[in-house]
Every structure is written in C-alpha cells, then in structure tokens.
Chain A
Amino acid sequence: MTLPFADTNFAEATWILVVKSIVIFAVIFAIVPVLTVVERKVLGRFQARYGPNRVGPYGLMQPLADAVKLVTKEHYRPRNAIPILWPIAPALVVFTGVATLAILPFGDVKDGVGFYGIDVPIGILYFFAFGSIAFYGLLLGGWASGSKYSFLGAMRAAAQLISYEISMGLALLGAIMMAGSLSLVSIVEAQHQVWYILPQFVGFLIFMVAGFAETNRAPFDLPEADAELVAGYGTEYGGMRYGSYAMAEYIEMFVISGVAVTFFLGGWHGPGPGWLDPIWVIVKIFAFLFLFMWIRATLPRVRYDQLMSLGWKVLLPLATLNVLVTAVLVTVT
C-alpha cells in the first residue's frame, strides 16, 4: 500500500514507515537530553570550570534530574495569558522540529529500507515549510503570554526568522543546482566524488550564519536576550512548557546540523563499510553541534541593528551572487 498523498521518490510499506518514525523519534529523544549535558559540560570547560558533576558519574545523569524537575513543576499560567493559544505554542515548536527530522537522510536504501524518514520530491522545501510554521510557535508563545518581554522577544524572533530564511534558502540553492535535485537523498548521492563544502564554500558559510540565526542561538540569541528581555518569548513559561521550548531549540540545532551535513559535508559518505553510514552522519552532526556550542562560548551577542544589516545588506546580496555564479558555472560546465 502506498501513501494516499503526493508521491515520494521511494515508496515503502506503511508499517516500515511507522517503524522508521518511531526509531527516528526515539533516537532524537535520546540525543536531546545528552546534548543538554554535553553543552553544559563544554561551556564549563570553555570557562575553566567543571560544569555539572553532581548527579551520577561525571554529572551524566543531570538531564534526568532536569527532566524530572521540569515535569513535576506546577503548571502556572499568568493571568494575562490567553487560555488555548498559550499552551499550544510550545507544542507547535516541538511538533515542527520533530516533523523536519523526517527528511534527514542517514543512509541510502539498504535491503529495501531507506535510511531516512521520507524522501519527498520537494525535498528541502519541506524543511522550509515546517520552519515557517515553527515561527508561529514562537510568535504565539510571545503574544499569548500577555507580557511585554514575551511580546518583544516574539517580535524579534519573527523579524529575525524571516530575514534569515531567504539567505538560508538561497545559500542552499547553489548546492541544489549542482546536484540538479531538491531531494536530500539525491543531493547526498551527487556528492560521492567531492563534498559540496569545497565548491560551495560561500554557500556553506552563509547557511551556517543563517542557521545560527534561525535557531536563535548565540551570537544571534536576541529573541531571548536574557540581559534585556528576561527570556524573550519564553519568559512566562515554566515547567515542561519551558522545557519544550528548550527541547525544540536542541532539535532545531540537530536539524540545521543535519541539513548542513546533507548539503555540504557529503551526508553518509565516509570511509568504511556501508553499515557505518548512519554513524558517519551522526558523527558529522555532532561535529556541527560542537561548533554551535563553541561559538556560543566564544562570541558575544550582536546588536539588533547589526543583526538586521548583516542579514539584509551582507548575507542576502552575497547569497544571490553565489546563486548567480553557481548558475553560470553549472550551465557552462
């Protein structure tokens, strides 16, 4: 039986799809808590301190303690908050983050099973479509909280996301033109000779800068700039609702790293036998995640006007130029 919806590049039985979704979901939800403790450890080392080391060996059980604390907290709702929209917002962010994971390829088709959630012909547009829905999670959260800080944070997030989404799309367009396909699986297959980080180095840099802005990570964490806005759109949230926002941020980091690996670092390509493919993808993704933490520990937050002028006056023209040059080169060769 095939899916009733628009067709995919590689159709599989429904039960395989269900199993795959559960596996991806389980793996990511195991990785996210690990990421939180890794980030705190890494930040600690950067700042010449230990980081969490009380719960379990080397502090590795810290995320478990955090999760228990967040889940058992009281569900407090501020009086100004709007009843239905306010709790929906964090769920929306997590939903879109998890949905985007479906298109990350961890390997090609082996024994009739594709090592990815789904290979849609619209490929990366799927990622952008869910990205633009994720924006409503931030905006609703900020607006429905009924607080000034939340609202300002949400507005900053909105402006930031739409400013950097275009540069991000254009940065990927170079790699898409070189591969001649939007499908992430085909793009990885097209990189079996040379990874696109070499011919598309400008595109890679633009994508990473825009990716940092899209995930609201330092140095672009203006929507939740704690020195000025308390915690931005998440100010009024507590317990697991706040935890959902934090979790969504880590999932988005994972997705952005995964897209960067797919488009520029050759996806599952690497030395060794075929069964190592998913491991290679995970290793490369973790390298990017370390980069995220490294930059957070190193760079100070940019100013808001710097953020906007960087996005519109530097990244956008540069990305457009990159697309033009790539288009000419692809046509000539």
Chain B
Amino acid sequence: MVQVAFFVGAIGATGGALAVIALRNPFYSVLALVVHLVSLAGLFLLLYAQFVAAAQVVVYAGAVMVLYVFVAAYVGAVEEPIWEPIPGQRFLAPLLAVALLVELTIAILGTGLTALDSEGPTVHAGFGTPAEIGNLLLERFLVVFEAASMLLLIAAVGAVVLAGRRTTPPTSSASRPGSAGSGSEVAAGPHAPTATSSLAPADPPSAAEQGG
C-alpha cells in the first residue's frame, strides 16, 4: 500500500515536472505544474508531514498557481523570441544543467543512499502536526520566521506601490486622444477602477497566505 502510494506520487511528480518543460502550450505547463505539486503533497503525506502537505496544496497548488493560470489564460500562447535574450545562453544553459546534475549526484550519493537499507528514522506521535510545526517556528526558528514574514510584507507593500503607480498612465493616455472633451474621461473613468480591482486580488493572496 505504501509502495503503491509512493510510486503513484513519484510518477506524478516526475511526469508533471517533465511535462512542465516539455509542453509547448504555457497553460498545459501550468496544469502539469499543478499535477507535480499535488503529487509532491502526496509524497509529503507519506513522510508524515501532514501540515506541509496541506500547506503545499493550499499555498502553491491553490494560491500561487492561480496567478500562473491567470497569466497563462489571459496572455495566452506567447510567441517565443527568435533571438537569445541572454547572449551565449545556448551554450551556458547545458553547462549549468550539467553542473547542477553533478552537484545533486554528489549530494545524493554522499548522504541519501546511506538510508536505503535502513528502516528510516523513527517518527514519534504527533510528528508533522500543525502544533509541532508552530512550536518550531515560534521558538527555535523565530528569527528566520520573522525575517521571512518581513520579506513577504515588504514584497506585498512593494506590489501595492507598483500597482498604484501604474494606474496613472492608462487614465492619462486614455484622456490624451480624447481631446474632444470630458466624454472620453467619463468612458475611461469606470473602466479603470474595474481593471485595477480585477487585478488586485492577483497579488495579495500569495503573500498573505505565505506570511500567515
């Protein structure tokens, strides 16, 4: 039973990750990423990390991927640039990939394989519950936790400031061609708030849920 669940999760995670980079349509890539994240949550569940599994689904598969879906669905299939955005990317990218592979291989061979023949660590009752993770976050890792939440707060404030700044050009550019008078400004008036209010939910949820 455990083995079956593990292999289902593992195949889902690997297949999803491969599909993310293999698929051409960005929307399918996003969906593949969702499959990957949900499979990963299943693997966390097998490791007795229930809270992490739930947080993975709620925050990543839920909040963060929604933004990706929004972007992919609204923007649609973007034409791939025919030039290289970064010069020498074609040669640099495989080099870095091989370096990463070597690094990971060393790390896995060095540490992970020693546990292969053992039963794994013994897990005490209540391991991975929200209460235990809350204690760890607020006692042992308090400074790191607070630093991360400050970072997210700064990011959220920055996003609000940037979004607030960007609302001014559309109204001014919309009123510029409308030299006929106030008629176009009235037309632009109700449109601008709806545009910002429909985009506004895109930023806060991820920051708020990760921060909380």
Interface residues of A (CB under 8 A from B): 4-7, 85, 120-122, 125-126, 128-129, 131-133, 135-136, 139-140, 143, 151, 154-155, 158-159, 162-163, 165-166, 170, 182, 304-305, 308-309, 311-312
Contact = CB atoms under 8 A, between A and B. Distances in A.
Given A133-B38, A133-B57, A151 B73 contact: yes
A125 B201 contact: no
A312 B2 contact: no
Nearest to B61: A132
Interface stretch (B14-22, B43-51, B109-117, B167-175): B43-51
B50 A182 contact: no
A154 B73 CA distance: 10
6 contacts: A6-B45, A122-B53, A162-B201, A163-B201, A305-B194, A312-B204
Looking at chain B's contact residues, is the secondary structure mostly helix, strand, loop, or mixed? Answer: helix
A122 B200 contact: no
A55 B102 CA distance: 71
A6 B48 contact: yes
Contacts of A132: 57-58, 61-63, 66
Contacts of A155: 70, 73-74
A182 B55 CA distance: 14
B153 interface: no
Contact of B58 (A5, A7, A125, A308): A125
B208 interface: yes
A139 B69 contact: yes
B205 A128 contact: no
Contact of B27 (A143, A309, A311): A143
Contacts of B205: 162-163, 165-166
A135 B129 CA distance: 26
B197 A309 contact: yes
A131 B61 CA distance: 11
Contacts of B131: 121
Contact of A304 (B74, B125, B194): B194
A143 B73 contact: yes
Given A132-B57, A163-B201, A312-B201, A122 B62 contact: no
B46 A5 contact: yes
Nearest to B51: A122
Nearest to A139: B69
The 10 closest A-B pairs by CB, nearest first: A132-B62, A125-B54, A129-B57, A6-B50, A4-B2, A121-B129, A308-B197, A163-B201, A122-B54, A162-B205
A133 B74 CA distance: 20
B201 A136 contact: no
B130 A135 contact: no
A35 B6 CA distance: 39
A135 B62 contact: yes
Nearest to B201: A163
A163 B209 CA distance: 11
B208 A166 contact: yes
Interface string B183-212: 000000000011001101100110011001
Contacts of B55: 125
Contacts of B78: none
B209 A308 contact: no
Contacts of B157: none
Contacts of B125: 7
Interface in B114-137: 125-126, 128-131
Contacts of B61: 132-133
A132 B62 CA distance: 5
B34 interface: yes
Nearest to A163: B201
A154 B66 CA distance: 12
A125 B70 contact: no
B5 interface: yes
B147 to A, nearest CB: 22
A308 B201 contact: yes
Contact of B63 (A136, A139, A162, A304): A162
Interface in B73-96: 73-74
Contact of B197 (A5, A136, A182, A305): A305
Contacts of A121: 50, 126, 129-131
Nearest to A309: B197
B162 interface: no
A129 B58 contact: yes
B1 interface: yes
A35 B134 CA distance: 41
B58 A159 contact: no
B194 A4 contact: no
B54 A4 contact: no
Nearest to B62: A132
A163 B212 CA distance: 15
Given A4-B2, A125-B58, A162-B63, A308 B198 contact: yes
B46 A4 contact: yes
A161 to B, nearest CB: 8
Which of B62, B63, B129 neighbours the largest number of chain A CB atoms within 10 Å of its CB?
B62
